[in-house]
Amino acid sequence: MIVVTTPTGTIGQQVLKNILDSEQPVRVIVRDPSRLPSQTRQRVEVVQGSHGDIDIVNEAFTGADSVFWVAPPNPHAVSISAVYSDFTRPACDAFRRHGVGRVVGVSALGRGVARNAGLVSASLAMDELIVSTGVSYRALTLPSFMDNILRQIEPIKNQGVFFSPVRADRKLPTCATRDIAAVAARLLLDPSWSGQDSVPVLGPEDLSGNDMAQIISEVLGKPVRFQQIPVEAYKARLTEHGMSAAMAQGMADMMAAKSEGLDNAEPRTPQSTTPTSFRQWCEEVLKPAILGQPAIN
């Protein structure tokens, strides 16, 4: 039995799609089952509720061989640890109680090097909590997603610009969520691994904001530039859009750490290099989104 959390989320829905092609029994935890495609609802077992709820995870993890774990974003949280460790604590009890075989979790790059890195530090603390249960665990250690650029469709479309507090020339790995989902599905379907380890998913190359602007411009056939903004202005923008002070600070600390090279510490290897290039992602996801067409996923 494979249990999938956040089956309506960006990564979770692609993980689910990948494992539904197998013969394996699949259970999902979902707050609102009507948000799942009807074909999916017929194929999977549904536990309705939040995976932050002890009763729900006790029900869902009964007889589970593997679990796909995502701590959901919460822009209104009172603290960053509330989003990661506190949300994950009931699941950790249930991993132990039900003797769950393997857990594959969504995390971040930075193990051993992150200092005051906001959301990244909170995510790594969540990994430590999961590891402390003794369950076999693979933390998918991720750079910033290419898909984050979709939040800036308006400025890209209307002003030909996108923003980040990261230095314009800082080359960083970036990955497509489809590649994360492919790696997660492979691990969930493979019963042969055990122990606890990290699995970095680095995309095919390191790119700066300026490199990305160049590629976006070529794919869209119009000039788009990258604009670095001060961390304080970035934080103010997040709170203006309704984010809590604690989450905005966590985002700001994370971006400052990335600007200083947090995501460059993980050496690139053939195993951590994943196929979807930023150019391909722009052609298949960003451009259709800008033109208001369905993306190829």
Ligand X SMILES: NC(=O)c1ccc[n+]([C@@H]2O[C@H](COP(=O)([O-])OP(=O)(O)OC[C@H]3O[C@@H](n4cnc5c(N)ncnc54)[C@H](OP(=O)(O)O)[C@@H]3O)[C@@H](O)[C@H]2O)c1
Candidate ranges 10-18, 201-209, 240-248, 272-280; the one touching ligand X (CB under 6 A): 10-18
Nearer of residues 30 and 64 to ligand X, judged by Cβ: 30
CA distance 113 to 97: 33
Stretch that binds ligand X, among 45-53, 95-103, 149-157, 214-222 (CB under 6 A): 45-53
Between CA 19 and CA 180 the distance in angstroms is: 13
| Subset of 156-175 contacting ligand X (CB under 6 A) | none
Do 179 and 275 contact (CB within 8 A), yes or no?
yes
Q: Which helix (H) or strand (E) holds 196?
A: strand 196-200
Q: Measured from the CB atom, is 129 or 160 closer to ligand X? A: 129
Alpha carbon distance 120, 131 (integer Å): 17
The stretch among 50-58, 213-221, 234-242, 289-297 that binds ligand X (CB under 6 A) is: 50-58
Separation in Å, CA 1 to CA 56, 98, 102, 186, 286: 16, 13, 11, 15, 35
Residue of 23, 32, 221, 292 interacting with ligand X (CB under 6 A): 32
CB of 45 to ligand X, least distance (A): 17
- Cβ atoms 207, 164 nearer than 8 A: no
For residues 204, 22, 193, 71, the Cα torsion angle rounded to the nearest 10 degrees is: 70
Of 66, 85, 123, 259, the residue at the interface with ligand X (CB under 6 A) is 123
- Residue 12 as a binder of ligand X (CB under 6 A): the answer is yes
Q: Which is nearer to ligand X, 6 or 133 (CB)?
A: 6
Residue among 61, 68, 95, 145 that touches ligand X (CB under 6 A) = 145
Alpha carbon of residue 200 to chain centroid:
12
Q: Is 11 in the site for ligand X (CB under 6 A)?
A: yes
| Residue 8 interacting with ligand X (CB under 6 A) | yes
In the region spanning residues 91 to 110, those forming contacts with ligand X, defined by CB under 6 A, are 106, 108
The answer to whether 25 and 188 are in contact (CB under 8 A) is no
- Which residue of the chain is nearest ligand X when measured via CB? 9
- Could you tell me which residues come within 8 angstroms of residue 41 by beta carbon, excluding any fewer than 6 positions away? 33
> Taking CB under 6 A as the rule, does residue 68 contact ligand X?
no
Q: For binding to ligand X (CB under 6 A), which residues are involved?
A: 6, 8-12, 31-32, 35, 50-52, 70-73, 106, 108, 119, 123, 142, 144-145, 148
